[in-house]
Structure 1
Amino acid sequence: MAVCVCLITAGAHAAPQTLEPVVVTATRSDQPLSEVVADITVIDRATLQREVGQSIEDILAKQPGIQITRTGGPGTETVLHLRGATKQHTAVYLDGIRIDAQNGSGGANWEAIPVHLVERIEILRGPAGAVYGSDALAGVVQIFTQRGKSGFQPYVSVGAGAHQTYQQEAGLSGGAGQWDYALGLSHVDSKGFDSKTSVGRNLDKDGYTRKAANGRLGWQLTDNHRLDATLLRSESNAGYDASKSMQDDRGIRALDAYGLTWSARWSDAHSMRLSASESVNTYETLGTSTYFTETTLRNYLLQNDWQLGEGVLNVTLERREDTLDNADLQPIPRKQRQQNAVALGYGLQWDAHTLQANVRSDDDSDFGRKNTAGLGYGWSFAPHWKATASMATGFHVPTLFQRFSAYGDSSLAPEESLNKELGLRWQVQDKQLGVTIYRNQIKNLVAFTRGQGSCGQTSCYLNVDRAVLEGITLSGAYRWNQVKAYGSVDFQNPHNEKTGNQLQRRSKRFATVGLELPAAGVNWDAQVQTASRRYDKEGGADMLGGYTLLNLSASKPLGKDFTLTARVDNLLDRDYTLAKDYATAGRTFFVQLKWMPQ
């Protein structure tokens, strides 16, 4: 079993917390972070505000256990590797709304979510199928947008940076009486850079635009009943080079997400949550070739929590409806899937001991019944120390595209996983260290493989051999007065169990370390990101060299209402690539001025 040392912290390098963070992603119920057995990181608002000009996926790539692969410039497809898994193995939620897709290999449209709309992000590492069902084979990322508070709080920001990038953001939030609200708008436009490096490519700049709006509305009907509504609309248009022709190829993406939740407390020992949500994810190409695909995901959830002595019992009923419209689907252009599930969870906090047990049964319209389970134990054996151990199963059903497109195989079997991990954590206020050991075995791995399969195309989706995801992560944070050091280091070995080959585009070693300090009235943050070599194809073909990047950000209040923030990424202008024949941005800078009256 490989070893992973990881830290559960309130943000990679967050400001001091006066109250202990409460998380919901581990069990879908509120839990103090110190009582959670699972491996969770919280990225807080203060951390997000320092990352001006950055995308959600770039911020996630600095967290323990996460790497990304991007095939192009801003706004193009990004793959998130959580503990060495691929994008379809991580379930993604926005304010409780599932935003994965059924086109291609699945996964979330990270490019659609503006950072300034986000209040915090919770990252759960490790299979969570017993809580979330299919897709959470490697973990869960849950994004929470801002929620209104009493009073009235407007803000406006403008920013500019490298590659003729310009960004405008505005919003307001507040609350009065039983109502609270938050609204946000954003627009970004960039001329971009030439995203390809291959010989004979189209020598053009591949620009990018995105406009987005979101809103949250809350109504506190009584002390014990509340309604919440969420809305997000995002549209992007990004250039890419589909061929060597001089034609400008464009990828147009849109994400619509809607959700309504009723939260009720029937007694001191019984609470309930009822929610309905829908997300629509579209992708269209214009240029050398035209293509259109649309995924619609609907979710209905009823969760009841009962306090039973020192423990909490969760009973959840969930229905998922997935629809894919795609011209490549055979024999019909529209395909649907439904899943009905019942889940039970029990969490116990007793003296120095923490127990979390979950079971779930999903009835899939294509694959029948799939059962998952998870068991975790934590022991606070000494002041400031906690040891954890857990075991969990997970599964992922192939996307509708993988089964029914011209490149698919309707006989594909679901992927299944078994994860085992151990953990050790130490925390004294802002001083934190942690250790976790994990080994995740995946069978029936679905891959897009050249020269194999029965689809009749050059490459087909098919079930290949087992994969093993294992590694070592070290992370921690230490504060001396106003100076804070933070970081994480991952040693992992994601590989094909039969051949031993390293899985494509995953490094075996990567790290982020940083130092945060105030000087001359400016808050400085210096980061170093490094990763070892990886391979563009499994089996050691097309090596992608390792790299080390230096990033620097600075923020200065200008009076009580204005803040000036600047950052430079890849300060030393290192030349590196995350995928063969695709360029990265080189040295970039971004400056933002924000007005938020106090």
Structure 2
Amino acid sequence: MKYLAILSTSLVVAQPALAQGASENEITVVAAGLPQQVDRTGQSISIVGAEEIEAVQGPDLSRVLERLPGVTLTRNGGLGGFTGLRVRGANAEQVLVLVDGIRVADVAAPGGGYDFGNLAASGLEKVELLRGSNSVVWGSEAIGGVVALTSKKIEGVEAAAEYGARDSFDGQVNGGIAGDGYGLSAGGGYTRTDGFSQAAVGTEPDGWRQWRAHGRGYIGLTDRLTAKAAARYSDSRLDIDGYPAPDYTFADTPEFQQSREMNARAGLDYVDETLVLDGGFQLSDTRREYVDPTFGPAPYYATKGRAERAEIKGNWTPIGLVRIDFGADHEWSRFADSDGTEKARLASGHVLAGWYGRGFALAAGLRIDDHSRFGSEWTFGANGSYALSPDLRLRASYGEGFKVPTLYQLFSDYGNGALAPERSKSYDAGIEYGNRNGRFHAALTAFRRDTANLIDYVSCFSVADPLCEDGRFGFYANVGKARAQGIEIELAAQLSERFRAQAAYTLLDAADRTPGGASRGNELARRPRHAVTVSADWHSPLAGLTLGGDVRMVSDSFDDAGNFTPIDGHALVTVRASLPVNEAFEIYGRVENLAGVEYRTVAGYGTPGRSAFVGARARF
């Protein structure tokens, strides 16, 4: 544990606190890339800890994410189906996702985003969400925000299993050891469900199963130098529906998707009184195969996406009030399908200079990215925070974001080599009391993001373009502009020693702003105007019994850019309970969608009805 102690000490010494109190313990990595106190940044950041993740119960991470402001999710069918996370109205592919510091996006996917349907909440210790563009620190993809997930670091053994609706089972085991200067944690799990028909009109259940494993560890080489590594692997099979003849409408089919994801990172950390360095090499590899048994066992389409990344980041504190964060990286990405293999590289460097005084913090920075296919892009960002009192602060930020075209958008059958990066400018300002996990928290934030050069698919049946002369059906092009603006409200209170309640509300106005576009002024697809989650937990005096519940409400939206297909709003209620048998063993259960509401998040796709689950946890 020597390295962790040195790191914590160096951060505290180098960064005098803005405010005294519980907020001092809120540490984030999404603001600047290395550990930093949340109240030392003007950016909008929320953190969910292990206790809350465990209280929500089950492998479905979406129910944890929906507790955060600015978040909406859509899912194609049941557990394991494609799950897209939208932050403040951004596209699901415009959010950077990190797991144990590793970028996990599928570079072979058309939009190059991350599918949260393949990531289980089991085994996670912390979820961090930064809302707003932050490409200065994180580069491509960080238009809507950044999500950082951290797996558990434990001593001993933890195990959990649950069973419930649709013959669903989830099991997870985690174990770890730690000593003077070293630590190792590892875990694995299995989830399966019979599911229900992906197609809302279908009757054939579409199931999902996943095997997964992860590990992370560190060892102190000297008092200042530490080696560390992390890895994660999953193997999933998902039944999917399609468009069978003769009607070619969305309906039951025997098709399935096989996915294998492997992510790993190894590196070295150096820490002294004024300098922190984190260097490493990471690998992300995602392989997908699509099979229709009607036509045989061979895949009818397969993709391989691979990204290798060498990086170094750090911070230097020349004097007590000044901290300079910096970094450089080089990424090699590769996309392969039945038509061949394409490659690209991206080299980047950034610097973020900050003044961190008592009660006031201000930081600003620049980044340059050079892509082998389209050239260089500059990005700027700045943020500040001012403490009105020990627990009350004002904060504001401006951030720019960009997202490089994916290799699929550049080189597939629908590719366009002339694509430019998507760009964004993001603004927010707010006032906040306390922190999300303290005794009392209240926050009000206003935000706006303008996005240009949005990449979308264009049908050759609707336009005349030289790209269509080779007989293709369509192509990708920079065709859109959009604006998303609104407010976020967060409330949380420990009303007594036994009762805690919290709420998150988002008012979102997300509209197409494309000059002369057919959809100009329309709402962006699948962006509800209102979204709110209210949660409460009561620790009863009866043998440690805990009762809790969540209410998730979203308003109406549209499924398409033309606003022709409406999606009705809905309210879902989950109730849950847990009971410790002794210090090492606990039983729990929950009922999701208590009222059996029939709803949609994507038009044409089914959703689960009332569902009950029971489980147990053990710690040794």
TM-score by length of 1: 0.92
Say which of 43, 54, 79 aligns to 2:84: 79
Secondary structure, in 3 states, of the residue corresponding to 1:280? strand
Amino acid at match of 1:88: E
- 1:49 matched to 2:54: yes
Distance 1:326 1:370 in 2: 29
Say which of 272, 284, 287 aligns to 2:289: 284
Q: Give 1:11's aligned residue.
A: none
Distance 1:301 1:409 in 2: 29
Question: Per-residue deviation at 1:269?
Answer: 0.8
- 1:443 matched to 2:452: yes
Q: Give 1:464's aligned residue.
A: 479
Question: Per-residue deviation at 1:301?
Answer: 1.0
Secondary structure, in 3 states, of the residue corresponding to 1:504? coil
Distance 1:488 1:43 in 2: 13
Residue pair 1:99, 1:297 contacting (<8 A) in 2 also:
no
- 1:183 matched to 2:186: yes
Q: Give 2:248's aligned residue.
A: none
Secondary structure, in 3 states, of the residue corresponding to 2:348? strand
Q: Give 2:363's aligned residue.
A: 356
Question: Per-residue deviation at 1:247?
Answer: 4.6
Distance 1:414 1:381 in 2: 40
Distance 2:458 2:612 in 1: 39
Say which of 508, 511, 514 aligns to 1:492: 508
Residue pair 1:468, 1:494 contacting (<8 A) in 2 also:
yes
- 1:556 matched to 2:579: yes
Identity %: 24
Give the gaps of 5 or more residues in structure 2: 1-20, 246-251, 515-519
The 1:58/1:398 distance shift into structure 2, 3 A limit, reads: farther
Greater displacement, 175-184 / 316-325: 175-184
Amino acid at match of 1:72: G
Q: Give 2:307's aligned residue.
A: 297
| Alpha-carbon displacement from aligned partner over 1:422-479 (angstroms, at most 9, x marks no partner) | 1111128411111112111001111234444645544532222210011111111011
Amino acid at match of 2:288: Y
Q: Give 1:108's aligned residue.
A: 114
Say which of 404, 410, 414 aligns to 2:421: 414
Question: Per-residue deviation at 1:58?
Answer: 3.4
Distance 1:491 1:459 in 2: 35
Residue pair 1:452, 1:459 contacting (<8 A) in 2 also:
no
Q: Give 2:196's aligned residue.
A: 193
Amino acid at match of 1:489: Y
Pairwise CA RMSD of aligned residues?
A: 1.8
| Alpha-carbon displacement from aligned partner over 1:533-577 (angstroms, at most 9, x marks no partner) | 111111211101000011111111111110112111111010001
Amino acid at match of 1:144: T
Q: Give 1:595's aligned residue.
A: 618
Secondary structure, in 3 states, of the residue corresponding to 1:382? coil
Question: Per-residue deviation at 1:381?
Answer: 2.3
Q: Give 1:239's aligned residue.
A: 239
Residue pair 1:112, 1:254 contacting (<8 A) in 2 also:
no
Distance 1:434 1:350 in 2: 22
Say which of 143, 152, 157 aligns to 1:154: 157
Greater displacement, 305-314 / 175-184: 175-184
Question: Per-residue deviation at 1:384?
Answer: 2.2
Secondary structure, in 3 states, of the residue corresponding to 2:54? helix
Question: Per-residue deviation at 1:193?
Answer: 0.8
Give the gaps of 5 or more residues in structure 1: 1-15
Question: Per-residue deviation at 1:61?
Answer: 2.5
Distance 1:527 1:347 in 2: 39
Distance 1:66 1:243 in 2: 31
Residue pair 1:52, 1:590 contacting (<8 A) in 2 also:
no
Q: Give 2:17's aligned residue.
A: none
Q: Give 2:132's aligned residue.
A: 126
TM-score by length of 2: 0.89
Secondary structure, in 3 states, of the residue corresponding to 2:434? strand
Q: Give 2:325's aligned residue.
A: 314
Q: Give 1:528's aligned residue.
A: 551
Number of aligned residue pairs = 571
Distance 1:144 1:25 in 2: 12
Secondary structure, in 3 states, of the residue corresponding to 1:50? helix
Amino acid at match of 2:265: G
Say which of 260, 267, 292 aligns to 2:266: 260
Q: Give 1:324's aligned residue.
A: 335
| Alpha-carbon displacement from aligned partner over 1:186-231 (angstroms, at most 9, x marks no partner) | 0111111112123xx4x31001100001111211222211111111
Distance 1:385 1:18 in 2: 11
Residue pair 1:90, 1:138 contacting (<8 A) in 2 also:
yes
Question: Per-residue deviation at 1:54?
Answer: 3.6
Secondary structure, in 3 states, of the residue corresponding to 1:297? strand
| Alpha-carbon displacement from aligned partner over 1:325-371 (angstroms, at most 9, x marks no partner) | 1225xxxx111111111110112211221111121101111111100
The 1:18/1:78 distance shift into structure 2, 3 A limit, reads: closer
Say which of 427, 434, 438 aligns to 1:427: 434
Amino acid at match of 1:480: L
Residue pair 2:456, 2:480 contacting (<8 A) in 1 also:
no
Q: Give 1:219's aligned residue.
A: 219
- 1:378 matched to 2:385: yes
Amino acid at match of 2:331: R
Mapping for residues 573-588 of structure 1, pairs under 5 Å: 573-588=596-611
Amino acid at match of 1:487: A
Say which of 531, 552, 558 aligns to 1:510: 531
